[in-house]
Amino acid sequence: MRFATIRTGAGTTAARLDGDALIPLDATDVGELLARSAGDLAAAAPRAGAAPVPVAEADFAPVVPSPSKVICVGLNYRTHITETGRELPQYPTLFAKFAETLMGPNDDLVLPAVSERVDWEVELSVIVGAPVYRASAAEAAAAIAGYATSNDVSMRDWQRRTLQWDAGKIFQHTTPVGPFLVTPDEVDHARDLEIRCEVDGAVMQQARTSDLLFTPADVIAYASQAITLRPGDLILTGTTGGVGDARKPPVYLKPGQVLRTWVEGLGECVNRTVAEKDAG
């Protein structure tokens, strides 16, 4: 099954994909749907009186617009760890984002005027479907509601200012996520999916999720030792090799480009880059 959050004239609504149409559901977004359903997405009721929306006409919001937590993993693909010159970590390297960083999968990506080093990071995202605390790997896997495509767009100049990364990761409306939550049964728990990032059609990153050092279940189990993860919480599992900052010479996003983020079986985010002074 596939679920999305779409924008309408009356706000947002959760929706279920049915062929080439999205069926609006009785929840304002996928996060609310997960909280209400206790993980039983198949039982979600259609929104009374709401007409189906053709996928081609849908205005997709972030698949989970307001998660209580956005947890990210750094240095989780072996290829990316190698290109940074680091050793394989013993534990997941965690950092946090906020709901304000998220954007729709087809929204314009506004390049912050205060950064000159805006970089791409294709990532597999995981959406939590049930509360978990001090979970085992098996319990963590059972709590996964689904997977989505995302890009942890990073302001490298801000990221490198200190030993802590968050400054370069928390710029608002810079993290496309979607278009769908895809349930685990459709993609074999994302064990071996191709993952790719393109800029103006040129492939910058390409790998498979089987190269992840820590699996989605590993990350959920680890993070849950510290804090309860709740339905709708979003986890970005890390990026692969090929980021612009590691190239020689480095390459960064510029206004007027098209950033395409794709994960096999999950769909794509396609975002046009816009200079901040030209936005709106």
**DSSP helix, strand, coil percent of the chain (3-state; round to 5):** 20, 35, 40
Homologous superfamily of 70-278: Fumarylacetoacetase-like, C-terminal domain (3.90.850.10)
What pLDDT digit, counting tens, does each position of 225-269 carry? 999 999 999 999 999 999 999 999 999 999 999 999 999 999 999
What pLDDT digit, counting tens, does each position of 104-160 carry? 999 999 999 999 999 999 999 999 999 999 999 999 999 999 999 999 999 999 999
Which residue spans of the chain are classified as CATH 3.90.850.10? 70-278
Distance from C-alpha of 245 to C-alpha of 5, rounded to nearest angstrom: 32
Q: Whole-prediction pTM value?
A: 0.95
Which of 119-142 are b and which e, b meaning 16 or more Cβ less than 10 Å from the residue's Cβ? Answer: bbbbbbbbbbbbbbeebeeebbbb
Distance from C-alpha of 142 to C-alpha of 131, rounded to nearest angstrom: 11
What pLDDT digit, counting tens, does each position of 59-75 carry? 999 999 999 999 999 88
